[in-house]
């Protein structure tokens, strides 16, 4: 890491978040999908985005693997690097929020403290933690990349759920049973939440 920037001042745009939301016809929000590898985070995030897009909402999905190809390509999987990864995503999600977009993030984000940090950088009520709850054995059965097998063999160190902990959310905005419930029902649960909270009225 280089030295921290000190001679920077936040520039306030004349086109505000509220004006963008009015133009879009919906509010912006951060939907933070968290869960073990294989719990269905990315699949559910994209299914929700599909539904929102069909309604005419402006959306964007930030996916863990994709972000690590670019923005966070310099980070590994140590605890410190995981924390920095989530810090960057939280700040990026905040920018999408200001742009009037419903941003959906799909990251394991195993530590409660890091998720709370991501929540803390956006205005109160705009962060929706969505716990994709699937038993470890189900996640392993879906493991098309063979990551769990490699982790159990010691090939991949610090793998969440095997050799590194996952701290379940204690009070998520949505607790979704992605282990046994159909994808459509899971996506509908999130859409209902967004309607009840007044994010969308489409």
Q: Are strands 102-106 and 29-34 parallel, antiparallel or unpaired?
A: parallel
What does the block give as tokens for 86?
Answer: 């989530």
Catalytic residue among 28, 37, 39, 109: 109
Q: Which residues pair with 60 in a beta bridge?
A: 103
CB of 180 closer than 8 Å to CB of 196? no
Residue 28 is a catalytic residue: no
Q: Which residues does residue 174 pair with via DSSP β-bridges, in sequence order?
A: 130
Q: Which pLDDT tens digits describe the chain residue by residue (202 residues)?
A: 555 666 656 566 788 999 999 999 999 999 999 999 999 999 999 999 999 999 999 999 998 666 655 666 777 777 788 788 888 889 999 999 999 999 999 999 999 999 999 999 999 999 999 999 999 999 999 987 899 989 999 999 889 999 899 999 999 999 999 999 999 999 999 999 999 999 998 7
User: Nearest Cα to 133, choosing from 197, 10, 44, 21?
Assistant: 44
- Domains in the chain, please, with CATH? 17-135+165-196 (3.40.50.300)
Look up the pTM and report it: 0.88
């Amino acid at each position: 890491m280089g030295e921290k920037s000190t001679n920077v001042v936040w520039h306030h745009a004349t086109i505000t978040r509220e004006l963008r939301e009015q133009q879009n016809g919906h509010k912006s929000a951060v939907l933070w999908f968290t869960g073990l590898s294989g719990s269905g985070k990315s699949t559910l995030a994209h299914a929700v985005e599909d539904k929102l897009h069909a309604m005419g909402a402006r959306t964007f999905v930030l996916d863990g693997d994709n972000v690590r190809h670019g923005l966070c390509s310099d980070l590994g999987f140590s605890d410190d690097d995981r924390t920095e990864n989530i810090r960057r995503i939280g700040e990026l999600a905040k920018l999408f929020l200001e742009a009037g977009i419903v941003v959906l993030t799909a990251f394991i984000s195993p530590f409660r403290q890091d998720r709370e940090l991501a929540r803390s950088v956006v205005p109160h009520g705009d962060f929706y933690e969505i716990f994709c709850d699937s038993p470890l054995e189900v996640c392993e059965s879906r493991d098309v990349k063979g990551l769990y097998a490699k982790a159990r063999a010691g090939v991949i160190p610090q793998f969440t759920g095997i050799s590194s902990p996952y701290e379940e959310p204690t009070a998520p905005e949505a607790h979704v049973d992605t282990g046994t419930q159909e994808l459509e029902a899971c996506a509908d649960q999130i859409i209902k939440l967004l309607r009840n909270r007044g994010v969308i009225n489409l």
